Amino acid sequence: MKRLAGRGRINQDRTISFTWDGRAMSAHPGDTVASVLLANGIRVLGSSVLMNRPRGVVTDTMSDPNAFGQIGTGESSEPLMRLTQVEVYEGLTAMSRIHKGVLPTGTDTGRFEKRHAHCDVLVAGAGPAGLAAALAAAEAGARVLLVDEHPHLGGSLLGEDVVIDDRPAHLWVAEVEQRLRDNPAVTILTRTTVFNVGDQGAIALMQRVSEHLPEAKRRGRALRRMWQVRTHELVVATGATERPLVFPNNDRPGVMLAAGVRGYLHRYGLVPERAVVFTTNDDAYRTVLDLINAGVDVTRVVDVRPDPQGWLPRRARELGVEVRGGSVVMDTTAAADGALAGVVVAPLGGGETELITCDVLAVSGGWDPLFDLHHYLGGTARWDEQLLAFVQDNVVAGQRVTGAAAGIFGTTACRRDGHLIGLVAAEATGFGSATSGPAAPEAADVTEQAPADFVRVAAVDGDESHSFVDHHRDVTMAGIERALNSGITNVEHLKRYTLVGTGTEQGRTAKVNAGRLAADHFDLDFHMIGVSNARPPSQPVTFGSFAGRALGARFDPVRTTAIHSWHVAHGAVFEDVGQWKRPWFFPQGTEDMDAAVLRECAAVREGVGMMDASTLGKIDLRGKDVGVFLDRLYTGTMGTLKVGRARYGVMCKADGMVFDDGVVLRVAEDNFVATTTTGGAAGVLDWMEDFLQTEWPDLDVWLTSVTEQWATVAVVGPQVRTVMSTLAPELDVTQDSFKFMQVEDAVVAGMPARVARISFSGELAFEINVPTTSGLAMWEAVFAAGEPYGITPYGTEAMHVLRAEKGYFIVGQETDGTVTPLDLGLDWMIADKEFVGRRSLRRTDMLREDRKQLVGILPVDPNDRLPEGAQLIETAEYEIPVAMIGHVTSSYESAAMGRTFGLALVRGGRSRIGETIYAPLLDRTVAVELVDPIIFDAEGTRRDG
Amino acid sequence: MFQIRCPYCGPRDEPEFKYGGQAHVAYPADPEQLSDEEWTRFLFVRDNSRGRYAERWNHAAGCRRWFNVIRDTGTHEMVGSYRSGERPEDAR
Ligand SMILES: [Zn+2]
């Protein structure tokens, strides 16, 4: 196409340059990549996805099935960008990648933001209907958010030569825009697309903030911003898209949609050398008239209708255009580069053919209202026999469709409908009254002649393998026929079988034709077949946009204890437990993890160790009924606990499966503190609150999470009493005065503390609890007091090994939501009283003898450490498939025992103690002996030191 | 993303809430008296109906109260919400 001086909504006084496939291109501000390519004579954009056919720009909107490319280079390059939408800027690089992009590698350095907003009326689309709706709603008093994907308001008016109120349409647009911008309750978002509509008016928008600017001008601004809007009313004013026609070789570059051709004229000042127009309707004659007005040779209008007599065809004839009724384009010819060279015209139904030379064939098969947003919440459509198009059928609450999207065509009618819809939407949100609003503009559109119900020109030789229904997916009429002949009778199946309508552009030019051709094939009414459903997102949204700024350290909150800085300073390797960072182990010198853990374990068993236990969940319970409450939740009895004592407890969900465990301390008659697992703290609090609020609101119990208010230092090992005596000379820590599971308030290292004798290792141990603000000071004091005795800080891995030696299970490691207290051998913890889940423990399935039960395992080779998760089978020799009778839940090397060991869940395991079973691994099969879960210090003599 | 009306705080976005399943399914008063089948029905069987459905929600990132919502499972219309102890007819 060629550029006409002084035409188009671009600034032809300024020239900018960018590259297309490495070639420098000259453009003007306001151009899109697509318009520049056309202006530079680049008709062939690339090759089609399957058939390698040359393809070019089809239209000027986001419905274009071919105009895609790779924008940018390197890590910020983006595939499958719409060239009809990408605005050119100085330095832009674009590459021909029309149907398959290249994913950038590395880290996307672009910034993406998110924003939330509320409004009364959100208007999607700023064409004549949307502008009228936004203005009416705003002037009725509603908060209005007006959204349009283009850089400028006006919608279809940007690509048309229309007069409104006796002046060019753009003056009307400017006036409405000014009135909207002057209204503080109106927000206008251009370059913004509604990509999803959710329940209760949840609208998702994607705004292109700075990506249309040269890099230097972005200056740290976000490339895009995702908006989450909550609106009372949604007005869908998203216009319509033109439908192509199916005929042999209808995909050659230069075959364009008629409205697209006049769009390129009015928006970018681009015209063909010589055009032919092929239509089923009057609207395409607007292209004829506009081209002639611009001095273009429109050689022929090929109209399917036998006798086009509307005012538009008559006007075209008056201007000397040869209008041929009852005829079709039955084929096209190509130039050397594969682009259009000419069209073969013939009477409909056969006869003399004529070859006409042209560089553009402007095609119109009618118009499809675009109301995808209506479909997202279950909106339905019906085929309108007069319009020959789908229109909205049902009403979706909180949504109104207007303008061309509602099947209302003509600028005046759209403005009138938009105005009324705007008033109604405002009224629905409590503003103004639809009936008493300002008078709507009168409808004054001139009637047009009915369009022809026509989709396809059959190939004379019957070969329809080049009659394209979907350019983007290379679906031809032959492909559609093949699918329908193979038994497909449903458009959703047709879509998935042929991929028709599944393109990045959502098949906007293909779907309706595919459905109509299927209906023709079966000789059914079209409404029996319909079209495949539109689904969000309405256009591709990058992962970066969803991530926004929640990247790296901002991805998830990080929780650290009061002692964290000490751990970091002392070289701890950290483990993530939920959001907590916990020291995993503290390597010394060149130690690897195994060596560090062995050393830490040995120190605890032989001397004294210390651990930061601050992350354990802590729930403070107060009230006179706390004992009753806890008795109903734990399998054991808590109400009988004496003040100053602690007790271990396990909780089940109603299904009887172990849910969490921990030690409960009674610190006063009406005050308990329940500890939970680190990861389970929030869930346990939720669970307790649920029962208190909904099942037992009569109980006097008050819950407070105090996890972050307390820091806990566990001091563990045979030499712990020496360390404690140094730290708290006033506190008698002898066995007689400070018994296991005793709780004392005491001054430790000069700080008030709550000290409890709780052990998760089987060793003599004290847990020192202090307010979080004293946590680091207490830790340092304990470390200093213990240093003469070689006190050893240890991490979660050593803790796990030590507890496993004692057969203590860990929720989430030995349990997985299918394990009951009985499976864990906790029969002794089931008190004779009702508690949540108790009834489940005598369901038939719970009584099965072959349930998986907790056992200890000792690999026969004491140096062989099994991987956790390894399956267990009966025999050393096996053939796949083989019955799995259990799995390894924990597996470690024990410093104390000088060998490897583990815990496992094995079918009927408790009755199989002493037997040998096998763990089949990729490289070996390991024999393991089943033993009691308490492998170390079975008598429990170490607990009291 | 739903918008849910907390009876204590007003309308808020769904991410502030936690779902709690079908409403008005009380923990049995005396589970030991129930047959396996009755107990199993309490544990695992819930209505899965199209149309108006009473369900529990917790305003977890707000006031932390549990309350009930009538939602149309076919259209996702939030018909109304009501506090524990109120009747479904009181939903608003
Ligand atoms: Zn609330």
Q: What is the DSSP string of A96-127?
A: E-SS---PPPS-----EEEEEEEEEEEEE--S
Check residue A430 and report its DSSP letter. Answer: T
Strand partners, A574: A583
Q: What percent of chain B has pLDDT over 70?
A: 100
A758 closest CA partner among A769, A770, A742: A742
Q: Are strands A671-676 and A617-622 parallel, antiparallel or unpaired?
A: antiparallel
Dist CA A784 CA A855 (whole Å): 40
Tell me whether residues B66 and A689 touch, CB distance under 8 A: yes
B interface test, pick of A196, A200, A703, A838 with most B CB neighbours within 10 Å: A200
Using the CB atoms, write b or e for A649-674: b if 16+ within 10 Å: bbbbebbbbbbbbbbbbbbeebebbb
List the end-to-end C-alpha distance of chain B, in Å, as a whole number: 20
Q: What is the pLDDT of residue A945?
A: 86
Tell me whether residues B1 and A198 touch, CB distance under 8 A: yes
697-736 in chain A: CB under 8 A from chain B: 697
Tell me whether residues B3 and A200 touch, CB distance under 8 A: yes
Q: What is the pLDDT of residue A505?
A: 86
Dist CA A268 CA A256 (whole Å): 16
Element (H, E) at A602: helix A593-606
Task: Determine, yes or no, domain membership for B46.
Answer: yes
Task: Determine, yes or no, domain membership for B31.
Answer: no
Dist CA A313 CA A715 (whole Å): 95
Tell me whether residues B84 and A694 touch, CB distance under 8 A: yes
Residues 6+ apart with CB under 8 A from A515: A491, A526, A529, A530, A531, A532
**pLDDT tens by residue, A748-760:** 999 999 999 999 9
In total, how many domains does chain B have?
Answer: 1
Residues of chain A below pLDDT 50? none
A interface test, pick of B18, B38, B43 with most A CB neighbours within 10 Å: B43
**pLDDT tens by residue, A623-652:** 999 999 999 999 999 999 999 999 999 999
Q: How many helices (H) and strands (E) does chain A have?
A: 21, 51
Which residues of chain A are within 8 Å of residue B31 when distances are taken between CB atoms? 834, 838-839
Here the ipTM equals: 0.97
Report the length, in residues, of chain B.
92
Q: What is the pLDDT of residue B85?
A: 83
Which residues of chain B are within 8 Å of residue A659 when distances are taken between CB atoms? none
Task: Determine, yes or no, domain membership for B35.
Answer: no
Residue type for position A41: G
Tell me whether residues B3 and A843 touch, CB distance under 8 A: no
Please give the distance, rounded to the nearest whole angstrom, from the Cα atom of residue A201 to the centre of ligand 1.
20
Neighbours of A871 (CB within 10 A): 16
A566 closest CA partner among A681, A765, A747, A713: A713
B40, B65, B76 member nearest A843 (Cβ):
B40
Q: What is the pLDDT of residue A440?
A: 56
Report the length, in residues, of chain A.
945
Q: What is the pLDDT of residue A86?
A: 96
Task: Determine, yes or no, domain membership for B7.
Answer: yes
**Tokens representing A100?**
């398959």
Give the B-side interface with A, CB within 8 Å. Answer: 1-3, 13, 18, 20, 26-28, 30-32, 34, 36, 39-40, 42-44, 56, 58, 60, 64-66, 75-78, 84-85
Please give the distance, rounded to the nearest whole angstrom, from the Cα atom of residue A706 to the centre of ligand 1.
22
A interface test, pick of B16, B40, B45, B46 with most A CB neighbours within 10 Å: B40
Give how far Cα A329 sits from Cα of A250, A277, A347, A362, A370, Å.
Answer: 9, 9, 9, 11, 27
**φ, ψ for residue A436 (rounded to 5)?**
-105, 15
Neighbours of A915 (CB within 10 A): 14
Which residues of chain A are within 8 Å of residue B77 when distances are taken between CB atoms? 397
B43, B56, B75 member nearest A655 (Cβ):
B43
A85 closest CA partner among A211, A235, A173, A182: A211
Which residues of chain B are within 8 Å of residue A690 when distances are taken between CB atoms? 20, 58, 66
Give how far Cα B37 sits from Cα of A844, A848, B31, B32, B33, Å.
Answer: 10, 17, 12, 12, 11
Neighbours of A207 (CB within 10 A): 20
Please give the distance, rounded to the nearest whole angstrom, from the Cα atom of residue A686 to the centre of ligand 1.
15
Q: Chain B closest CA to A654's CA: distance in Å? A: 7
Tell me whether residues A695 and B27 touch, CB distance under 8 A: yes
Please give the distance, rounded to the nearest whole angstrom, from the Cα atom of residue B6 to the centre of ligand 1.
5
Q: What is the DSSP track for A872-904? A: EBS-SS--SS----EEEEEEEEETTTTEEEEEE
Tell me whether residues A840 and B1 touch, CB distance under 8 A: no
Please give the distance, rounded to the nearest whole angstrom, from the Cα atom of residue A13 to the centre of ligand 1.
59
Q: Chain A closest CA to B4's CA: distance in Å? A: 9
Task: Determine, yes or no, domain membership for B14.
Answer: yes
B1, B31, B43 member nearest A834 (Cβ):
B31
Strands of A253-380, DSSP E = 255-257, 270-271, 274-279, 297-303, 323-324, 327-334, 340-347, 354-357, 360-364, 367-369
Please give the distance, rounded to the nearest whole angstrom, from the Cα atom of residue B4 to the centre of ligand 1.
10
Rounded to 10 degrees, the C-alpha dihedral B6/B9/B15/B21 comes to -30
Identify whether the C-beta of residue B11 lies closer than 8 Å to the C-beta of residue B1. no
CA atoms within 13 A on the CB side of A805: 29
State the residue for tokens 């200056």: A219
Identify whether the C-beta of residue A10 lies closer than 8 Å to the C-beta of residue A30. yes
> Rounded to two decimals, what is the model's pTM?
0.90
**Three-state DSSP string of A514-580:** HHHHHHHHHCCCHHHHCCCCCCCCCCCCCHHHHHCCCCHHHCCCCECCCCHHHHHHCCCEEEEECCE
3-state DSSP call for residue B23? coil
Q: What is the pLDDT of residue A374?
A: 94
Q: Sort A220 into a burial class: Cβ within 10 Å, 0-12 / 13-18 / 19+.
A: exposed
List the end-to-end C-alpha distance of chain A, in Å, as a whole number: 93
Tell me whether residues A200 and B65 touch, CB distance under 8 A: no
Task: Determine, yes or no, domain membership for B34.
Answer: no
3-state DSSP call for residue A817? coil
Task: Determine, yes or no, domain membership for B33.
Answer: no
Among all residues of chain B, which has the CA nearest to that of A228? B1
Please give the distance, rounded to the nearest whole angstrom, from the Cα atom of residue B65 to the centre of ligand 1.
6
B27, B77, B84 member nearest A397 (Cβ):
B77
B75, B77, B84 member nearest A693 (Cβ):
B84
Q: What is the pLDDT of residue A446?
A: 57
The whole domain housing B74 covers: 3-25+40-90
Give how far Cα A739 sits from Cα of A733, A752, A768, Å.
Answer: 8, 20, 15
Identify whether the C-beta of residue A89 lies closer than 8 Å to the C-beta of residue A212. yes
Check residue A750 and report its DSSP letter. Answer: T
**Tokens representing A825?**
């051998």
Task: Determine, yes or no, domain membership for B30.
Answer: no
Residue type for position A406: A
Tell me whether residues B27 and A836 touch, CB distance under 8 A: yes
Ramachandran sector of residue A157 (left: φ over 0; alpha: ψ -120 to 50; beta: rest): alpha
**pLDDT tens by residue, A22-76:** 999 999 999 999 999 999 999 999 999 999 999 999 999 999 999 999 998 887 7
Report the CATH number at residue B54. 3.30.2270.10
Q: What is the pLDDT of residue A436?
A: 55
Positive or negative, the CA dihedral A924, A925, A931, A934 is positive
State the residue for tokens 């916990």: A582
Dist CA A196 CA A234 (whole Å): 12
Q: What is the pLDDT of residue A751?
A: 97
For residues B39-62, average pLDDT: 96
Dist CA B43 CA A218 (whole Å): 57
